[in-house]
Amino acid sequence: MRFRLGTVAVLSACALTISGCHKETTRAYRPPPPPAGTTASSHGKNSRSPRNPTADGTAAEASPPPAPVPGNLGKPVSSEVGMASWYGPPYAGRKGADGTVYDQNAMTAAHLTLPMGTMVRVTNLTNNESVVVKITDRGPFVHGRIIDLSLAAAKATGVYRAGVARVKVEAFAAPVRANADPGGRWCVQVGAFARESDAVKLKEEMMRRYATAKVIEFPGPTGHWVRISPKFPNKSNATEVADSIHPKDPAAAPYLIRTD
């Protein structure tokens, strides 16, 4: 009997040993699919809104909508693309070309030829951020730039940190001003000269050539300037004057400017 019990005990031990050495096959855990209707925005504050896939399958941030314009302005009457810059503290508190004091925190801008008071939408083509501004001053007087934004407008479009950016400028119909010339009043500005003597020399030459024109020389933040206002300040006469000026200084190119 002791032998049989011992034999049973040995057999039981072997069975336990064999069962302990056997390993169960590992199975990969597959979580259940999320409930229908679940979106990324339901995952908490740090989640991002769904993005539109691009042609190669990657995700791209949705472009911001264009800045709204007052309903009474209708559709843009002109559009141009070029470089924008901005101007701020040195000009704060000074009068702009329209006679108002420049407020760097207002949505305004300077343009060479658009009528004063024109409302324009400026879109930064790098990030599609846009803003609607009012033309209150003249400029920028730097080659390749088409508009100077106020400090506030530059911050709203992302131009502030970059300094300059490629933009699209859409102009809406300008308000009708009393006693305004429908064709505009135009003049020619030449500069900026690095040396005052060169500006004075051009001024004297212009006074001899255009005896009936008003010619002035004045210092600016980027150099010395000469302005010629023809007796008949229409665009045609101003263009003729500008085409006749060929300054030796490559940085002093003539600009056509609308004064009203």
Q: Does 161 reside within a domain? A: yes
- Mean pLDDT confidence for 77-92: 93
Residue 257 scores a pLDDT above 60: yes
pLDDT in tens, 195-210: 999 999 999 999 999 9
Q: Does 192 reside within a domain? A: yes
Cα–Cα distances (Å) from 27 to 23, 24, 30, 153, in that order, read 12, 9, 9, 60
pLDDT at position 192: 84
- Choose among 234, 225, 227: nearest CA to 186: 234
Same domain, yes or no: 208 and 147: no
Strands 165-171 and 119-124: antiparallel
The first and second tokens of residue 96, run together, are 């702009």
Same domain, yes or no: 161 and 195: no
Structural domain ending residue among the three candidates 172, 199, 222: 172
Question: Chain-centre distance of CA 252, in angstroms?
Answer: 26
Same domain, yes or no: 138 and 208: no
Same domain, yes or no: 103 and 135: yes
**Is the previous residue joined to 175 through a cis bond, with omega within 30 degrees of 0?**
no
Cα angle vertex 157, ends 155, 161, to 5°?
50
The first and second tokens of residue 214, run together, are 């008003």
- Mean pLDDT confidence for 81-92: 92
Q: Which range (79-83, 136-140, 143-147, 217-221) has the least confidence?
A: 217-221
Same domain, yes or no: 130 and 98: yes
Same domain, yes or no: 151 and 202: no
Q: Does 3 reside within a domain? A: no
Q: Does 13 reside within a domain? A: no
If one counts the domains in the chain, the total is: 2
Same domain, yes or no: 191 and 164: no
- Mean pLDDT confidence for 127-152: 94
pLDDT at position 61: 63
* Whole-angstrom distance, CA of residue 181 vs CA of residue 230: 15
Give residue 223's pLDDT band: very low, low, confident or very high (50, 70, 90). confident
Structural domain ending residue among the three candidates 149, 172, 195: 172
Cα–Cα distances (Å) from 126 to 146, 162, 167, in that order, read 16, 11, 8
- Write the CATH number for 135: 2.40.40.10
Q: Does 52 reside within a domain? A: no
Q: Does 155 reside within a domain? A: yes
Same domain, yes or no: 143 and 214: no
pLDDT at position 56: 53
pLDDT at position 253: 85
Give residue 37's pLDDT band: very low, low, confident or very high (50, 70, 90). very low
Q: What rounded mean pLDDT belongs to the chain?
A: 80
pLDDT at position 15: 44
Same domain, yes or no: 81 and 163: yes
Of 37 and 223, which is predicted with more confidence?
Answer: 223
User: Which range marks the domain in which residue 84 is found?
Assistant: 76-172
Look up the pTM and report it: 0.71
Give residue 55's pLDDT band: very low, low, confident or very high (50, 70, 90). low
Of 188 and 31, which is predicted with more confidence?
Answer: 188
Q: Does 29 reside within a domain? A: no
Residue 33 scores a pLDDT above 70: no
Q: Where are the beta strands (DSSP E) in 7-53?
A: 52-53
Q: Does 26 reside within a domain? A: no
Structural domain ending residue among the three candidates 132, 148, 172: 172
Same domain, yes or no: 164 and 234: no
